[in-house]
Amino acid sequence: MSNSETLHVADWLKQDSDEEEMTNNEPTTCLFCTETFPCIEKALEHLKKHHKVDFYCLKKKFRMDQYSFIKLINFIRRENIEPDRLHDATESFWDLEMYLKPKEYESWLTYDYENMEPEGHFKENDEEEQLSLEEIIKKQRDRLEQAAEHLTVMNATVTRLLDKEDREPQSVNGISHRSDSHYFDSYSHFGIHYEMLADTIRTNSYRDALLKNKSLIEGKNVLDVGCGTAILSIFASQAGANKVVGIDNSEIIYHAIGIIRKNNVDNVTLIKGRLEDTVLPQEKYDIIVSEWMGYFLLFEGMLDTIIYARDNHLASQGKLLPNRCTMSVVGYGDDELFNRHVSFWDNVFGVDMSVMRKEVMQEPLIELVDAENILTEPNCIADFNLLTVGLNYPNFTHVFELLCIKCGTLSALVGYFDTYFELPEPVIFTTSPYGKPTHWKQVVFFLGKPVRVSSGEIIKGRILCKRSVKNSRSLEIVIEIAGQKYFYYLD
């Protein structure tokens, strides 16, 4: 990846250690009484000693991550529950999206629960060393009863626990078929296939790559990954392929089979299934073709499956189509767009809803933007060679320098990608604001504090991209610019 470096989550957290220390030292009010403590660690000890609520045990019992604890804190505050309800919990009934929204800010919400360890947070009281034999036996009996309770509910919770992702994000290839079913179901609807097929930039690019390079395709065996309506499989057949195998795990595959029969394409075989779980008619293929790109290129994580296909099914000296993709950002200033999607919340029919702004801005806007409002030269932030890229591809950081080409108010960064078929007859298409519109559009990352810029000025910043812990197909993005840090979630 050019001009980029892999960034581990631990490195990013280390950079913010000073900020976290300040947060941890904020006065903290108990979740179940009015007592206040100088820091959250003392409050956690109080919870365990006086209310018998052990956050570390809850973390281990329900495999809780940072989001789960935020939901728990907000649930306790909103529902005013008693500690006993947590003692008796056999499932994480607080784990609902509605509890992500806090009633008000408090230090409980910013504590780093994912790195919480029993040492230093939950010190055993010195008095426990003086426990009598009867007290020790009672304590052990309570632990055995708790263990028995865990075994009782195991059958009901085992599926949830297996599907629950670990704190470190994993690739799409590593998640269960059941937990990934919603992704494939989304491609069972006809509307999304119409949108893709009607995208002439997309569809013509693939057709040109195949039909204008017939000498490369003739007599070869082709694998079409995520074939959908099988249009690429048909193009490969028209280009002279020997055999074509298309695979897709959505229900659209059954309509694709009808399309193949209707058009009398006799050298295309279609299979329903997830590639990682399927035995193909043959192991190796000369060419693997796929339209895998998502918003901001990496959304949906289908590149994981292409990497799996490459490593397991691409013949020696085989070709990937496309074989290279780049990601870029450009500075953007459109006051009308900013007002319509961000400032809108300041006055909604006379009601101040500005508390919504922060969360609204964390959801990048998928929009066709006007190239007239571009304020800077583009900056390539990632360059992927698909023949060599590894599964860590979503996790990178890039320091950018954006040269301003006109004066204006910088209110957003706009992301897009370019796709390359580096063949004897090369084909390239872009999703840039300067190019013809595609169904991918562009991704708009609004800045909470727009900045006035002048022509010739260089705007420096940094963008971090990483795979989401909550969903392997989603992205978490952080942009540092003009002394501010902004967080975005593409999911």
Task: State the catalytic residues.
Answer: 291, 300
Cβ count near 51 (within 10 Å) = 17
Cβ count near 111 (within 10 Å) = 26
In this structure, what token pair is assigned to residue 252? 């659209």
Residue 362, sorted as left (phi over 0), alpha (psi -120 to 50) or beta, turns out to be alpha
Q: List, in sequence order, every residue forming a beta bridge with 330; answer none if it has no partner.
A: 414
CA nearest to 226, candidates 180, 172, 184: 184
In this structure, what token pair is assigned to residue 182? 């919603």
